[in-house]
Structure 1
Amino acid sequence: MKSSNVNKYQFWRHDNKPIELWSNKVINEKISYIHNNPVEEELVFHPEDYVYSSARDYSGEKGLLEVTVIKQ
């Protein structure tokens, strides 16, 4: 889908569906989804292997980016 204000390239999709993070269950589902995307795309074998993933912080390692780990 192309927006009228985009002339050449568009980085994001205009049809995204924001999801309210209203419970711990929903938050954990979304964190898991984000962490497992690089595995599903076969970029890495384990979520914590993806350099920019917060999965490193959740596995006890220190990632490259500053992350606040949400305790479950």
Structure 2
Amino acid sequence: MENHVVRVREERGWSQRRLADELGVSRQTVISIEKGRYDPSLPLAFRLAAVFGCRIEDLFVPDPEEG
């Protein structure tokens, strides 16, 4: 799954630590999501969208090869 978390975070001038604190997760979790090594759970994806004031679809794009 492709994501735009880094772009959206950087547009707001937030550090990975700030985003992690806002979400209640570790900085390592944010790093893993940003690098595409970890797809967040649905509740975490909703929290990400809420923190950024956008839709989940604005942050995550399914890989067409995954169906």
TM-score (norm. length: structure 1) = 0.26
Structure of higher CA gyration radius: 1
Task: Provide the TM-score with structure 2 as the length reference.
Answer: 0.27
The answer to which structure, 1 or 2, has the higher relative contact order (CA under 8 A, 6+ apart) is 2
Structure with bigger helix share is: 2
